Structure 1
Amino acid sequence: MLKQNKEPVLQQINHNCYLTRSREGEQFVPEHVFSYQISGSLTINDGNKTYQVEQGEFRLSKRNHLIKFVKQPPPNGEYKTLSIYLDQQTLRDFSLEYGYKAEKHSDEGPFITLKPNQLYKSFMESLLPYAQSGHGISNELQRLKLREAILILLQANPELKDVLFDFSEPGKIDLEGFMNKNYHFNVQLKRYAYLTGRSLATFKRDFEKIFHLSPSRWLQQRRLQEAYYLIKKKGQAPSDVYLELGFEDLSHFSFAFKKMYGVAPSKI
């Protein structure tokens, strides 16, 4: 008898939990995410504005955004969140079945703080036993829960249809302005290309026409210039600026800085 291959378990419902220390990072958000801040706090910055999410709050993170974040556990406690990833295929299928369409494009910040609603809390609490069991949630149950999440969001906030069912991709935008705003995000060039509405090849070609340097060379120089300013003029420590400016580790940052300025950042 042939064995039936099991369908790989999708990870669209995520329970995040850890102890004692804060964590920093950055990411590209490719899908909408419905989240519940169970404990601790979250600080988000999109390059323009800083947002604060506190314990007990609900939020909808919007797709196609670059963000930096700091996760802070409560005193002597755990940082906990529960998140549901609303992928584009699920939303497209839902749109076709129920006839929902976006009537306008909405792009006001990387996430929406949702007003308290008992529906949200009851829904998230129904997921916790599965998320905390350590065995995961079956694909069939995840699909049902994703649809339930969408229905609850729309019942509490009908205007969210303009966010959830907007399937448009980023249009071609001002490359120079976008890069000068977002150079400090440590993401692959293909992400920058996508967010500016270009193929990778077109992005590189347009970039060199504007900046007269390759994207990787320009990004390193621009980040080092900002680092010099923050250390020299603002008195910040190298260990405080290298991650903020998109460098992966302090030793690489120090090497590149010394190569450009002839002196180690710690000696400025």
Structure 2
Amino acid sequence: MQLDKEHKKPSSIVFHCYHQQNWEGEHFVPEHTLSYQIAGSLTFNDGSNEYVSSNGSFRFLRRNQLMKFLKQPPEHGEYQSVSIYLDQQTLKDYCLEYGIEGKHTPNSIKLLNLQKNNLFLGYIDSLFRYHKMGGLESQELMNLKLKEAITLVLITNPELKDVLFDFTDPHKIDLEAFMNKNYHFNVKLDRFAYLTGRSLATFKRDFETIFNSSPGRWLQQKRLEQAYYLITRKGKTASDIYLDLGFEDLSHFSFVFKKMFGESPSKISSV
């Protein structure tokens, strides 16, 4: 089935479609997301585990986490998927309407590949039809389809109830362990602060107490030390690793690498 190019209008239900080129990057996941892989594959990496979704896969992605991704179109084809974003207000309204009490329960679920069934397939087929007719531009219909998605998740995966309806912000966690695991994500300091359950000012204060360094200096040094290890011990090149280590620009990475180690990445790798 042919889809329009990626739906640019802000929406809770988004169709993605593009040609040929692989697309990789990273992002903060602000809302619970239910999605269906139509064509191609999508690989997520949270720094510890890798999650792969291929054609016909349904997945649930929990909010408030950092993920790297790689989107790969099929050979000679297009990458196609649809994402349903379950925002907090919609979930709160659902709780009120159906008398559900959400509660905070520590949960390790980050990404869950859902079992394919006729309920989900019927739902996705209805989205295709409404999308083709422009029906999803109606906010009333959009709200109904979001409620339907929540209901289907609860019916098919009741263990996700306490994940969906946990409206608490991240609690204060071990800052040292979190940063040592997630330093390679290229996000702003206020995002790191939020995910560790701190205000930005408290995050900076706690960070300097623990690491005896400012967050900016520590992040750059940590990323460059890992780069040095990967280049000298694992045979990687600068172009292989700069994005994975949180650098946006290859030339900037090479500049700060040389400033720290005295040689460019290419000269270090040839030693």
| TM-score, reference length from structure 1 | 0.93
CA contact (8 A) 2:72 2:79 kept: yes
Question: How far 1:131 sits from its partner (Å)?
Answer: 3.3
Matches within 5 A, 1:130-141: 130-132=130-132, 137-141=137-141
Distance 1:117 1:104 in 2: 29
Which residue does 1:83 correspond to in 2? Answer: 83
Q: Cα offset for 1:37? A: 0.5
Q: Bigger CA drift: 160-169 or 78-87?
A: 160-169
- Specify the SS of the correspondent of 2:137: coil
For 2:233 and 2:179, the matched residues in 1 are separated by 23
Rounded Cα–Cα distance in structure 1 between residues aligned with 2:10 and 2:18: 22
State the 1:103 CA deviation: 5.2
Q: Contact between 2:104 and 2:167, CA under 8 Å: does it hold in 1? A: no
Counterpart Cα distance in 2 of 1:177 and 1:19: 39
CA RMSD of aligned residues (A): 1.5
Partner Cα separation in structure 1 for residue 175 and residue 35 of structure 2: 32
Question: Which residue number in structure 2 is paired with residue 116 of structure 1?
Answer: 116
Amino acid at match of 1:43: T
Counterparts of 1:104 and 1:112, CA distance in 2? 19
- SS at structure 1 position matched to 2:219: helix
TM-score scaled by length of structure 2:
0.92
User: Could you tell me which residue of structure 2 aligns to residue 200 of structure 1?
Assistant: 200
Looking at structure 2, the residues matched to 126 and 99 of structure 1 have their Cα atoms a distance apart, in angstroms, of 27
Q: Give the Å deviation of 1:133.
A: 5.9
DSSP 3-state at the match of 2:67: strand
Q: Percent identity?
A: 60
Partner in structure 2 of residue 64 of structure 1 = 64
Could you tell me whether the CA contact under 8 Å between 1:101 and 1:161 is conserved in 2? no
Match of 2:43 in 1: 43
Instruction: Confirm whether residue 18 of structure 1 aligns to residue 1 of structure 2.
Output: no
CA displacement at 1:224 relative to structure 2: 0.4
The answer as to whether partners of 1:101 and 1:166 remain within 8 angstroms in 2 is no
Shift of 1:203: 0.2
Partner of 1:231: 231
**Structure 1 residues 248, 135: closer, same or farther in 2, change over 3 A?**
farther
Counterpart amino acid of 1:253?
Answer: F
Residue deviations 1:6-49 (CA, integer Å, cap 9, x gap)? xxx75111001111121111000010001000111111110111
Provide the residue aligned with 2:143 in structure 1: 143
- Tell me how far apart the structure 1 counterparts of residues 257 and 112 of structure 2 sit (CA, whole Å): 38
SS of alignment partner, residue 201 of structure 2: helix
Q: Which residue of 1 aligns with 2:5?
A: none
Amino acid at match of 1:120: F
Instruction: Tell me if the contact between 2:135 and 2:141 (Cα under 8 Å) persists in the aligned partners.
Output: no
Aligned length: 260
